[in-house]
Structure 1
């Protein structure tokens, strides 16, 4: 085992908590134009329309303005506010940096493949304070392709100069992360998510601290197999 690659949103970044923190803060900052709407109603509707990040915010804000008759606000300004301010509300999953430090201490290459807009995702990675741990970071906008396209997995492995059989991918989405990585020949770890009950992954974790233990076990298993082959 030579490399571990990660998804970002829902895997390293607690996106649900980050969105809640951001949208509540946005409501408070833009209260002059939103005060006729109950805060809870505005925040819950944003989260509903956002669909956990799978709908870009231009459509979300256009819909919000139409539904709540926000004549004093422009969706372009609200989108700009989202782009510039979201990074200040990024919430990591527990033990994120400790887990990454442990993987690096194991002499492993560490990579990331994330769907999304390039600079926006890089700003969030910087905000989490984890960029230094990664040997490669691929963002779908800049790569011209996105998960579950297997080519983006192959591209990351090529840049790391590792074979798919020597790598593990960790993600929360059953199709975009787990199944896609498996189709690319990688071992896949599912970071459990409340949206799905069960995913056909090679391993399942609830906490990031479990990941180095799994990798260590795989490395020992590979070393044992290699030793047996040499003995024969």
Structure 2
């Protein structure tokens, strides 16, 4: 029986690509007196390129930007500090996020999250989306000292929810870290489509978050039907 639904954050619930574009644009305007000798388009494009969709931490990104653009009025440490303080104000959810979570809550599903990243930074973003209260457990890799796709973090999440891995569905945008990582411990892995990946094969694939409750309903019905067959 499916009892719990777990989520990744970036690229699954948080539209990080759009959030980042908004942030970098605002950062440039905010710090124009210090970095404005570089054209805005060049700054934004290079930042996004170096960021590599979040897989490169911003200390490296800003060090590279300072070196390439020759910033002398601001250090990479100050740029990073600005990122840590301001990104949460630019968080954009994917469509239907709150409605989908309400639907799962109304179905009495346990809801959890496993996200790679830095603890307070990720928690700030979760709170900015206004969704923290929907989750019975939130595991952030820095605070857990283990990250996806390590089986331990998936097993730990199931344990915190008081369910078996086989009673969990995990939804994420990364085929290896999320979908396969969850499947490796016996969870059902569901892929949230992402334009970065074009050849992902999976039994459960969603494009819009509102597709999730219906799939959960199908899985629950299947469990009940199988149970009835076994009882006969």
TM over 0.5, shorter chain: yes
**Other-structure match for 2:64:** 63
Q: Given the two structures, how large is their TM-score scaled by the length of structure 1?
A: 0.98
1:220 to 2:227 alignment: no
Superposition RMSD on alpha carbons, in Å?
0.6
Q: CA deviation at 1:191?
A: 0.2
User: Structure 1 regions of 5+ residues with no counterpart?
Assistant: none
**Are the counterparts in 2 of residues 115 and 147 from structure 1 also a CA contact under 8 Å?**
yes
Hey, which bits of structure 1, 4+ residues long, moved more than 6 A? none
- Partner Cα separation in structure 2 for residue 186 and residue 98 of structure 1: 24
Q: CA deviation at 1:35?
A: 1.4
Q: CA deviation at 1:184?
A: 1.1
1:112 to 2:113 alignment: yes
**Are the counterparts in 2 of residues 110 and 136 from structure 1 also a CA contact under 8 Å?**
yes
Q: CA deviation at 1:200?
A: 2.8
**Other-structure match for 1:35:** 36
1:156 to 2:157 alignment: yes
- Partner Cα separation in structure 1 for residue 140 and residue 13 of structure 2: 15
**Other-structure match for 1:176:** 177
**Other-structure match for 1:185:** 186
CA deviations 1:195-221 (Å, max 9, x no partner) are 001223230010000000000000001
> How many residues are treated as equivalent by the alignment?
231
Q: Given the two structures, how large is their TM-score scaled by the length of structure 2?
A: 0.98
User: SS of the residue aligned with 1:209?
Assistant: helix
- Partner Cα separation in structure 1 for residue 203 and residue 119 of structure 2: 30
**Other-structure match for 1:88:** 89
- Partner Cα separation in structure 2 for residue 73 and residue 194 of structure 1: 35
**Other-structure match for 2:197:** 196
**Other-structure match for 1:21:** 22
Q: CA deviation at 1:164?
A: 1.2
**Other-structure match for 2:146:** 145
**Are the counterparts in 2 of residues 118 and 141 from structure 1 also a CA contact under 8 Å?**
yes
1:74 to 2:75 alignment: yes
User: Structure 2 regions of 5+ residues with no counterpart?
Assistant: none
